Structure formats: structure tokens, C-alpha cells
Amino acid sequence: MTANELRKIYLAYYQERRHKVVAAASLVPENDASVLYTTAGMQPLIPYLLGQEHPMGKRLVNVQRCVRTGDIEEVGDDYHLTVFEMLGNWSLGDYFKKEAITMSFEFLTDQLGIPLSKLAVTVHKGNDQVPQDVEAVDTWLALGLKQEQIYYYGDEENWWSPAGESGPCGPDSEMFYVNDVSDCSETCGPACSCGKYVELGNNVFMTYHKDKDGHLTELDQKNIDVGLGFERLLILANNLENVYETDLFLPIIHKLEALSGIPYNKEYEKSFRVICEHIRAAVFILADPAKIVPSNSEQGYTLRRLIRRTIRMIHTVGIDENMLLDLAIEVIEIYKEAYPEVEKCKERILDQLEKEYDKFNNALQGGMKMANKYFGKLEKGECLSGEQAFRLYDTYGFPIEFTLELAEEKGIVVDVKGFTVKVEEHQKQSRSGAAGKFKGGLAENNVNSVKLHTATHLLNSGLRQVLGDEVFQCGSHINAERLRFDFSFHRKMTSDEIKDVETYVNQAIQAHMDVTCMEMTLEEAKASGAIGIFHSKYGDTVKVYEIPGYSLEICGGPHVANTSELGYFKIIKEQSSSSGIRRIKAIVDNLDLKK
């Protein structure tokens, strides 16, 4: 089954069941400054899920492209992608649990041919306010599942929480494919991270309204929100091992083989995958109606990072020529039927890729010459000094992440602590008089607590980026050793999600972003997209602290002057605080970023 066939089968299946196809939204969320990109299919439909009437009716279906930048560092394995497609269908106050579950089940089994024996599902086991989801259980049993295929979990796994302190919420029922691997333990189930259970999608039943005190009342308009992973279903439908074996990637891989003369094998597997995935993501972002271009902030920063990492990987496999345009043309060819805009924007896509290649390649060439000079004097296992790493950064614009990658390839260590010290010294020299920027702040606070305060802003933004805008700060506590941050979320975070949040914060640290403070009215702050909690405590004029491209938040301060002062961010614990509330404890330190 081709990718185009799967999209058509999905849309046709729900059209036959009276759903109207809604166009995919822009990759840049409309009227939502809390996230840089659309991260889920339901995100553009939030106003309609909250009760606003949709012009196309109460039954909707679409295929939505999404971007989740927290996965950039993980790209190259079998399943992590920065750009992916989500199959979604919705009922806005029309059908409910039984119909939604039945349609999902029949699509997976009848349309895609997934055997009944290979399915497992989870349901909400109930809590002190909500009974066990008997209707969902009875529906799954009536469809042929056995009791041993149904798993019962609490709020952490099977409860969809509102975006903020209050709003629509309810139980959900997730669907999983069961791999042919041994149980890791007697208690192994879909919540286990051993790899036996692969999530296919989720049926969310928006049943209740939660008020600020946590009390639930039944909604007048009960909604269904179903999301299915397109690429994952494509893998299963074709009995493949990973997404790079599908027709979404194979033509790009073959083109790269032809252009480079290098075979796609174990030695070059990760490099090939990163190049193909990143160029595909860059094409989609450049084709978006938001007309994003590479830059040093917000969506443009993500695009620039994708393109430059592609160039870096091309150099890694020993290729000096610009292959971006040829690879981009292959991506356009693959997607022009499903997404005609990529072909319409072909000229713009190729122009921006060429400009960015020339700009970065010129900077990279100078830095590479100096780097090779430094590395040539070192033996395997020896250390590149912090001063040398700083010179590559300061004189040649050589990102520290590239220096680390180069050093790792050569078996050389980088003195990141020394590099950070040099950066801080440079910043202090260039910020004469800046000590009074946060008057009454640094003098009255422990230096590390000020760092942790700034890290809390980045953590808040990172959680919303990775987990979605349902995350809302519920409180925090900072001392000299660690920060504690409470936030709204309905389940335990996965190890990958925790790592993605850490990566987001550390990217901001490595980007050396200045932390700026602006004063404005509360209404102006809200209009700017600044986030904050406990709005009632704010006066007519508020301070808004900005870390460009990462965080914009109402706060009283104090903060560091530049993110690089944080050194390194690490989450040391993620746990439940109360029902629907998670708690993170984290530290900052001037540690080696590779640890």
C-alpha cells in the first residue's frame, strides 16, 4: 500500500460515514504563540471542540502535517521524525464512544488488515469522581477483543486533560499493535516501554468540564477526538520494519545513493536517514503558506537548524557538493499529489535552500580549516581546549554542537566547561553596566537560584513544545540546588519526552540567547502571546521576559542575562503531584553537554 493510497482509504472510509474533509492547517498555529508549530491534528480545531460551530458540520476528518522539533536529535532511528502526518477524525457533539471505537476498530482491521489477535487497547479505570469506562470496555468486547487484550489504567495513562486550569476533559482509549517479542515481565502491558506494544492511535472522549477547583460536570456538547499515526500505520500496512522502508523515503534514499555514489548500508545508515528526513522537513516548512525562511529566531531558527544539520551530515559522509536541491526535487515529486503546494512553491523552496547552503557552507569552510588544524595536533582521547572551541565559535561562527560532533568522530574530547567559561568571560566584557539590569534581583538572590528561575521559563516552554499546549504551569519552587515545577498533564511522561524537553532547554542554552525584559500593560502582554499564571496578581503594568524563539512569559524576575550562563540543564525526577498534575525536579550546572 502506497502512502497516497493510505491517505485516500482513510478519508474515503470516514466520508462514507458522513464526515466532511477539512483542509490541513498551516504548520504555524493561528492565534497561538505558545508553540512554534502545529504539533497535533486537533490543535487547529480547538475553538470548535470548545463549542464554536464549524462551517462544515459536526463530523470532520483530515490528514494534518505536524512538526515536533524536540525529536531533532533522535532522528535516524526507526521512528523519530521532525515532520509527520496525523490522521484525525472528530465528532463535535454528534456520535460518541461506541460509534468512535467501532469506526476506529473497523478501519484498522477491515481496511488495513491488522489481525484482531495483534490488537491491545487501554481504558480508563476510574477515579474518585469518574467511574470505570464500562461503555468503552463493553464496546471493545462486543467487537471481539478478549479481556486479556484490554488494559486498565488511571489518569496518568488514559485521561485527556484540559489545556489550562479548566476546560473540556475526559477518559480516552488507546489502541496498540502487539509485536512478536517476549514479555519483559509479568506486568508488561501497553504502558511498558519495552517495545512490545506500539501505539497506533487514541480515542479521546471529551465528556466533562473541569473547573479551577478540579470539579467535573458533564458537558452539553460531548466531543470525540481520534488521532492515528500515519507513518506508523503505513509501516504496518506494508509489513515493514521502519519508516525509511516506505515510499515516503526510499526514493530520496535512492537519489542520495545515486548522487553520492555511496551505498545505503549500516555504515552510512544514520547519516542517510538524517539527510533524507531533514530535507523532507525543510521542504514542507518552506512550502507552508506562512512563508517561513531560515533565521535565528522562532520558526526560522528550526528551519535553519534542519538545513544546516543536513549540510553537516552531507559533509560527514565525505561529500562537498550541494545536493540539497536535487534531494528537494525528489521530495516534491513524492508529495506533489497529496500536497500540491510543494510543487507550486518549488522555485521558492530551491531558492531558499541554495541561499542557506551558500551562507552556511562559507562559514563552515573557514571553521573546518581551523578545526582540522586543532584536531591534527591531538591524539585520540586527548582534549580540545575550551579556548580553542571558543575561537571556533567566536571567530568562525562554528556552533559548539558541530565542534562536539567533529571531535566525537575523531575520538577527541572537548573541554565544554572551559568553553563555557570563555563564553561567560566574553559576555561579561560585552555587557558592561548590565549588572544592574535586574535591580534588586541578583544582589538579593543566590546566583544558582537565578539560573534556575530562567531555566524554569525554558522548561515551561519546552513542556508545551513537546507535550502540547494542554500543559499549563500550576506552581513552582526554587532553591539554590534545584527547581521544582508543577504542570497540568494527564499521564506520566515517557523517557523520550523527558529527553526531548531536556534537549529543547539545552538547545536554548547552547544558542546563547540574550534574556530581555520589556514593560507593558497586562492586555498588551496577553496580546503579544506572553504566557503567565495567576493573572489576578498582576498590576496594570507587567514585566515580560523574552528568550527569542524559546520563551515569552510574564514574570517579576530576576533572570540571567544570557542563556549560556545556565551551563547545562538536567531533569532528575518526573512524578505525579496530584490528579492531573505532574511534577518535575531539575538542576543546572556547568557540566559537559555530552554527559
What do you get for the CA distance between the two ends of the chain, in Å?
42
Residue pair 158/171 in contact (Cβ under 8 Å)? The answer is yes
Residue pair 360/308 in contact (Cβ under 8 Å)? The answer is yes
Rg of the chain on CA atoms, in Å: 25
Instruction: Give the Cβ contact number of residue 142 at 10 Å.
Output: 12
- Helix/strand/coil for 358: helix
H/E segment holding residue 333: helix 324-335
Distance CA 234, CA 255 (A): 21
Cα 141 off chain centre by: 35
According to DSSP, residue 562 is labeled B
CB neighbour burial string for 249-285, b if at least 16 within 10 angstroms, e if fewer: beebbebbeeebebebeeebeebbbbbbbbbbbbbbb
Q: Specify the residue for cell string 487514541.
A: 202
Residue 568's DSSP bridge partners are 589
- Please name the residues in contact with 506: beta carbons below 8 A apart, sequence gap of 6 or more: 568, 569, 593
Residue pair 273/80 in contact (Cβ under 8 Å)? The answer is no
Which residue ranges are tagged as binding site for Zn(2+)? Answer: 453, 457, 555, 559
Q: Specify the residue for cell string 550562563.
A: 565
Pairing of strands 568-578, 473-478: unpaired
Cα 254 off chain centre by: 28
H/E segment holding residue 272: helix 269-287
